Structure 1
Amino acid sequence: MPVTAASLPISKYHQVYLVLREQLHEGRFARGLPGELDLTRQFSVGRVTVRRALEQLAHEGLIVREAGRRSRPASRPAHDAPRPAQAQAATSLKGLLGDIVNATRGTSVKVLEWRVIEASPDTAQALQVAEGEQLRKAVRRRSTSAGPVSHITTYVPEALVRGFGRAELAHQPMLQLLQEAGLQPGRAVQTVSARQADARVAGELQVPVGSALLWVRRVVYDTQERPLQLLHGLYRPDRYEYQMELSQVGAIDARIVVTELLF
């Protein structure tokens, strides 16, 4: 069954608005938003619905609309303040790397994308590279026997991934591949929040458009404090848990749980 904006019991324009807002926060439209007709086809709604969603985004200062031109993201400050719903943590990679590997056992990976892109302002800032510099973008879907669990997008400087490719990525976590290539992950700074599923992600995770997903943004640094990887992860909350144990002040033990149970 196709996923559409009608899959949720809230107004259609608000569903479109929510998905586009999340995509803007992820930096998906550096070169401009799709045209109105493209959006009507993507969300299976009318043009009036799309226009109302765009008007709401413009009213909130998230996009700029100009007659005869495609809407574009509004300029943002260099450093956005975290939103109240977000939880940020600096996590030890020594324990987290092993936990990521353990959590992937019994799951399968489909590599959806593996290509070279130019760094957008957001990815360039996160990875401390120049805008337009070559990055390697990987998009993967991980599943258990119960079905899809996660949709993971990672960005890594192209020079760091020349020792492996799509085939290796289908069998090993990116962090493990980077470590085997001689790099030394030191720490990670991550944000845990929530996002709505857009049409593409909804189709891969087999959920309705606009469904609430667990969202993790993680920047991994090496032992010299150089960024190695930017990760955006979207997870089905009925099949994935992210647990943290604060054993003492300043110490965080993170644990990832992938479950096949359907609640």
Structure 2
Amino acid sequence: MPDRAAPLPISKYHQVYLVLLEQLQDGRHAEGLPGELELARQFDVGRVTVRRALEQLAQEGRIVRENGRRARPAPRPAQASRGASAASPSAEPLHGLLANIVSVSRGTTVKVIEWRAIDATPELAQALQLREGEKVRKAVRRRSTAAGPLSHITTYVPEALVRGFGRAELARKPILELLQESGVQPGRAVQSVSARQADVKVAAELQVPVGAALLWVRRLVHDVDGRPVQLLHGLYRPDRYEYRMELSQVGGIEARIVANEILS
């Protein structure tokens, strides 16, 4: 079998650029990006490398830079979020996939990194159909298998749906299962799978280098009445996580995820 061609190396400044771009797209750094020296320390690169990455983000209109002030995210056009919503993939019913997700989650151990109420950003308010500033419960967790860290998951749930469970319950059960126990009936989900790079915090939790390629899953779960009840952003180590989809000749789709020692 012929050897596969080795991937072209990514320059350090472009790695920094990609990670910062992903963070900006996720709505982070709303109060301003860290300074050049702090970013250089986080990414373990020179200040010139950081400056070049910031310059590219500024040229693309992603950030605004002013002398004597920290760079901050550029204002987004009012139509931007609506356009992104219109391009979302069509929703698929959960059913077997939901059961598979919960089953795989039960086979992992959980570290609860964060569990707190936050004000809904414009992006969260749109996704969860809330008013901007309305309370949302944010959970950040790391899941691990016997092979080691598997995923870094950030979940947002309307505060009104968080009843009777907290950090202790999050360490034992998936949020979807906890929501079901509190009376929520999941109906369908819109899910997309892409790729992201590990930033400093995620890299430390998943035990990978900063800038390492990760699988990125965005899942918006609705209840049987069509109301959004959970928004999930998940980052997964590709050596320990696999998403499989079988397409039958008659048009049926069977999807499942795999996370176990076989993939390590």
What TM-score do the two structures reach when normalised by structure 1? 0.89
Distance in 2 between residues matched to 1:235 and 1:252, nearest whole Å: 23
- Residues 89-100 of structure 1 aligned to structure 2 (within 5 Å): 90-100=91-101
Matched, 1:55 2:58: no
- Residues 117-196 of structure 1 aligned to structure 2 (within 5 Å): 117-196=118-197
Query: 1:133 deviation in Å?
Result: 1.3
Distance in 2 between residues matched to 1:166 and 1:96, nearest whole Å: 25
CA offsets 1:155-205 (integer angstroms, 9 cap, x no match): 111111122111111111111110110011111001110000111101111
Matched, 1:70 2:70: yes
Query: 1:87 deviation in Å?
Result: 9.0
Query: 1:32 deviation in Å?
Result: 2.1
8 Å CA contact retained: 1:87, 1:192: no
CA offsets 1:4-60 (integer angstroms, 9 cap, x no match): xxxx95322111111101111111122222222321222122222211110011112
Distance in 2 between residues matched to 1:170 and 1:135, nearest whole Å: 19
Matched, 1:12 2:20: no
8 Å CA contact retained: 2:187, 2:224: yes
8 Å CA contact retained: 2:196, 2:213: yes
Change in 2 beyond 3 A, CA 1:251/1:125: farther
Query: 1:96 deviation in Å?
Result: 2.2
Quote the sequence identity (%).
74
Count, aligned residues: 253
8 Å CA contact retained: 1:164, 1:177: yes
8 Å CA contact retained: 1:88, 1:189: yes
Distance in 2 between residues matched to 1:248 and 1:221, nearest whole Å: 29
8 Å CA contact retained: 2:195, 2:214: yes
In the alignment, what sits opposite 2:28?
Answer: 28
CA offsets 1:216-244 (integer angstroms, 9 cap, x no match): 00111111111101100000111101112
Structural RMSD (CA):
2.1
Distance in 2 between residues matched to 1:43 and 1:18, nearest whole Å: 12
Change in 2 beyond 3 A, CA 1:80/1:201: farther
8 Å CA contact retained: 1:30, 1:120: no
Distance in 1 between residues matched to 2:33 and 2:166, nearest whole Å: 31
Letter in structure 1 aligned against 2:181: E
CA offsets 1:75-116 (integer angstroms, 9 cap, x no match): 33123448xxx9945232222221112212432111111111
8 Å CA contact retained: 1:241, 1:256: yes
Structure 2 residue ranges without an equivalent (≥5): 1-7
In the alignment, what sits opposite 2:239?
Answer: 238
What SS does the corresponding residue of 1:244 show, helix, strand or coil?
strand
Distance in 2 between residues matched to 1:38 and 1:133, nearest whole Å: 32
8 Å CA contact retained: 2:106, 2:174: no
What SS does the corresponding residue of 2:91 show, helix, strand or coil?
strand
In the alignment, what sits opposite 2:230?
Answer: 229
Change in 2 beyond 3 A, CA 1:182/1:262: closer
What SS does the corresponding residue of 2:68 show, helix, strand or coil?
coil
